[in-house]
Amino acid sequence: MAKRKVAVIGAGMTKFMHRALETPKELAWLAARSALAASELKLKQIDCVVLGSAPDAFDGVHMKSEYLADGCGAWRKPFLRCYVGGGTGVYAVAQAWFQVASGMFDTALVVCEEKMSTCQPHPQAAFLTIFDPITEQPLKPNLLWIFALEQTRYMETYGITVEQIARVSVKNKRNALNHPAAQLGAKLTVKEVLASEIMAWPVHRLMVSPTSDGAAAIVIAAEEVARRVTDKPIWIQGVGWCLDSAYWTNRDLAYPEYVEKAAWMAYRMAGVKEPRKEINIAEPYDPFAYKELHHLEGLQLAPKGQAPKLLADGVFERNGDLPVTPSGGLLGVGNPIAAAGMMKICELYWQLRGEAAKRQVPGKPERGVAQAWGDLMQVGTVVVMGTKKPE
Partner 1 sequence: MAERIAIIGIGFSPLEPATPACSFKELVFETAQKAYADASVRFDEIDSFVTCAEDFNEGISIFDEYTPDQLGAVQKPMHTLTQDGLHGIADALMQIRSGIAEIVAVEAHSKASNVQTPDWILDYALDPVYNRPLGFTPHAIAGLEMNRFLSRSGITGSQCAQVVVKNQRNARCNPLSAYPLDTDLAQVESSPYLAYPLREAELAKSADGCVVVVVANEAKARKAPSQPLWILGSGFATDSPTLESRDWSNAEYARLSARAAYRQAGIKSPHEVDFFEVDDTYAYKELQHLIALGLYDKPAKAGRAIEAGETRQDGKMPANVSGGALGMGLALEASGLYRVVELVLQLRGKAGERQLSRAKIGLAQSWRGVPTTSGAVVILGVEPPRG
How far is 237 from 86, CA to CA, in rounded Å?
Answer: 22
SS (H, E, C) 334-383: CCCHHHHHHHHHHHHHHHHHCCCHHHCCCCCCCEEEEEEEECCCCEEEEE
* 136 versus 192: smaller Cβ distance to partner 1: 136
* 65 versus 211: smaller Cβ distance to partner 1: 65
* 365 versus 374: smaller Cβ distance to partner 1: 374
Q: How far is the CB of 257 from partner 1 (least distance, A)?
A: 7
Task: Yes or no: say if 187 and 68 are a contact pair by the CB < 8 Å rule.
Answer: no
DSSP 389: P
Q: How far is the CB of 193 from partner 1 (least distance, A)?
A: 29
* 129 versus 189: smaller Cβ distance to partner 1: 129
28, 89, 243, 257 from 261: Cα distances, Å: 31, 18, 9, 6
Q: Between the CA atoms of 40, 183, 83 and 44, what dihedral angle is there, to the nearest 10 degrees?
A: -20
Strand 213-222 and strand 234-243: the pairing is unpaired
* 189 versus 245: smaller Cβ distance to partner 1: 245
* 352 versus 377: smaller Cβ distance to partner 1: 377
Q: How far is the CB of 82 from partner 1 (least distance, A)?
A: 6
Task: Yes or no: say if 104 and 80 are a contact pair by the CB < 8 Å rule.
Answer: no
* 170 versus 213: smaller Cβ distance to partner 1: 213
How far is 172 from 266, CA to CA, in rounded Å?
Answer: 25
Q: How far is the CB of 188 from partner 1 (least distance, A)?
A: 31
Q: How far is the CB of 86 from partner 1 (least distance, A)?
A: 8
* 23 versus 196: smaller Cβ distance to partner 1: 23
How far is 230 from 208, CA to CA, in rounded Å?
Answer: 38
SS3 55: coil
Q: How far is the CB of 75 from partner 1 (least distance, A)?
A: 6
* 99 versus 335: smaller Cβ distance to partner 1: 99
Which of 199, 200, 196, 202 lies closest to 161 in space, CA to CA? 202
* 220 versus 361: smaller Cβ distance to partner 1: 220
Q: How far is the CB of 69 from partner 1 (least distance, A)?
A: 5
Beta bridge partners of 382: 240, 371
Q: How many CB atoms lie within 10 A of CB 277?
A: 9
SS3 69: coil
Which of 146, 91, 112 lies closest to 12 in space, CA to CA? 112
Q: How far is the CB of 386 from partner 1 (least distance, A)?
A: 18
86, 138, 209, 236, 358 from 131: Cα distances, Å: 14, 9, 21, 34, 41
How far is 297 from 307, CA to CA, in rounded Å?
Answer: 7
The alpha carbon of residue 109 and the mean position of all alpha carbons in its chain are separated, in whole angstroms, by 17
* 328 versus 375: smaller Cβ distance to partner 1: 375
Q: How far is the CB of 71 from partner 1 (least distance, A)?
A: 9
How far is 369 from 375, CA to CA, in rounded Å?
Answer: 21
Q: How far is the CB of 170 from partner 1 (least distance, A)?
A: 30
Q: How far is the CB of 56 from partner 1 (least distance, A)?
A: 5
Residue numbers at the binding site for partner 1 (CB under 8 A): 1-4, 23, 54-57, 59-70, 74-85, 91, 95, 97-99, 101-104, 118, 126-127, 129-130, 132-133, 239-247, 257-258, 261-262, 265, 269, 374-376, 378-379
**Which amino acid is located at 72 in the chain?**
C
